Amino acid sequence: MIQLIPSLEEGSKAPLYLQLYQYIRDEIVSGRIKENTRLPSVRNLSAYLEISRTPVADCYELLLAEGYVTSKPRSGFYVASFNEHLSVTHETNTALIKDTPQSNILDFHYDKTDLVHFPYKKWNKLNNACLTPENLQLLQSGDLQGMPGLRREIASYLHQMRGVRCEPEQIIIGAGTYHSLGLLFQLFKDEVAVVATEEAVNVGVKGIFDQLSSISFCPLALEKDGISIDELYQSKAQAVYVTPSHQFPFGMTLPMEKRRRLLQWAKEQQAYIIENDYDGEFRYNSRPLPSLQSLDEHEKVIYIGTFSRVLTPHIRISYLVLPQPLLEHFQRKKHGYNQLSSPILQMTLQLFMESQDFAGHIRKMRSLYQRKYEILLHSIKSVFEQNAEIIGQGSGLHVLLKVKNNMSEEQLVLTAEHAGVKVYPTSVYWLNPKKAMTSTVLIGFGSLSEDEIQTGIAKLGEAWGMTGK
């Protein structure tokens, strides 16, 4: 076994896996561990260091995600060749982003993803491969439901990742969640007059609700574990809108017991459940619960998802999974709809999903985002101590921060901006703004680097009077 002698501190603020990762990464970068060297197995290294296997496995996962090592099936982890891995992916993307003029504002936006690790070379290659003389039909408007090949890939991906049971024929590709939701509400409008909804929702979703004059929306209280089922029964709604994996914006997960009660309600009331699973891929430190669609025995759940989080929002590809009765409805009325998603992007995505790289990309992003998330939490706790409450932990790309310094939400946002940091108000998410939480802002972390997250939180601490507490 190669000699690894990290000095790991059990009580340190940095978790063990991160200390180990930093040590091995430095050994690789400095050339002390040579290319193609086999790293010790997780079991051997954990026994040698006298720590549990989890930090070693997490450290290897991160080295893999960052391109410092490669994994060979049934053989183990090997140090990557520098030229191949580090320079091609990480550094080229970093350089690309650095060359692009950036403002100095540190933007904690929730809808931006990490671009440094976006596989743009691979994506470009696949994109260029789409438009060939045999494929010129991609320049016409394509299949109304979206490209069949992409729908096949999505059906299999959803089955593996979220347990969703559907045929490709049940999938309708859209140009983003709001487009998909708009289409769904058009489908509904003759049979659904009242839609119950979580009382706080994403602004784009709220915008869709506001545009629909034929449907009234009934906000349901959000309890600690998601929507109130008692209020749902009182609402007399024919459908309900929920984000059960990771409530937007509060971040709670609907527990199994409530999932079952929700499905029971839909069965009894002959009503629909709209399940928006916008970032179900990113769950940290615990296993995701099965999607509502996977538990549904009565064709009541409409499942909506997007590629905005796993790839980037600018790809603008989302999907609806329709239960059979609504699918028939769609097919009867189809001339009223358009397919707004670009066929070339759909095909690029299909090719990307067919390659091994898509699954690898998700694994890589999960471990990267988990690391950013831990750094964010750690920075907030050390800067704010007892003076702020973090709401909505454990998944996704954002948290809410309730700040206890007597500033209003508006003051928090403005003083942060003055200090060069953008954070976002949360009162805008409430259907009834009078119920909004006070002094609470939303902090997204997907697109910022680890250093930027730490600097941004330190600047917020100063702007919000946390220095010299």
Ligand X SMILES: Cc1ncc(COP(=O)(O)O)c(C=O)c1O
Q: Which residues of the shown chain bind ligand X in the complex (CB under 6 A)? A: 110-111, 176-178, 202, 205, 243, 248, 276, 278, 306, 308, 313, 318
User: Which amino acid is residue 376, in one-letter code?
Assistant: L
Q: Which is nearer to ligand X, 81 or 211 (CB)?
A: 211
Q: Which is nearer to ligand X, 205 or 403 (CB)?
A: 205
Q: Determine contact, residues 312/118, Cβ cutoff 8 Å.
A: yes
In three-state secondary structure terms, 303 is strand
| Beta-carbon count within 10 A of 375 CB | 20
Shortest reach from residue 437's CB to ligand X, in Å? 17
CA angle 408, 394, 266 (to 5 degrees): 95
Q: Which is nearer to ligand X, 19 or 243 (CB)?
A: 243
Burial class of 116 by CB neighbour count within 10 A (0 to 12, 13 to 18, 19+): middle
CA nearest to 343, candidates 158, 154, 159, 142 = 142
Q: Which is nearer to ligand X, 108 or 278 (CB)?
A: 278
Strand ranges (DSSP E) for 244-307?
272-276, 301-306
Shortest reach from residue 431's CB to ligand X, in Å? 14
Shortest reach from residue 400's CB to ligand X, in Å? 13
What tokens does 125 get?
């290659």
Measured distance CA(87)–CA(67) in Å, rounded = 10
Shortest reach from residue 442's CB to ligand X, in Å? 10
Q: Which is nearer to ligand X, 16 or 441 (CB)?
A: 441
Q: Which is nearer to ligand X, 19 or 291 (CB)?
A: 291
Shortest reach from residue 208's CB to ligand X, in Å? 10
Q: How far is CA 266 from CA 190, 236, 272, 457, 462, in A?
A: 18, 11, 6, 43, 49
Q: Which is nearer to ligand X, 93 or 312 (CB)?
A: 312
Shortest reach from residue 246's CB to ligand X, in Å? 9
Q: Determine contact, residues 62/19, Cβ cutoff 8 Å.
A: no
Helix, strand, coil percent content, the chain, rounded in steps of 5: 50, 15, 35
Shortest reach from residue 202's CB to ligand X, in Å? 4
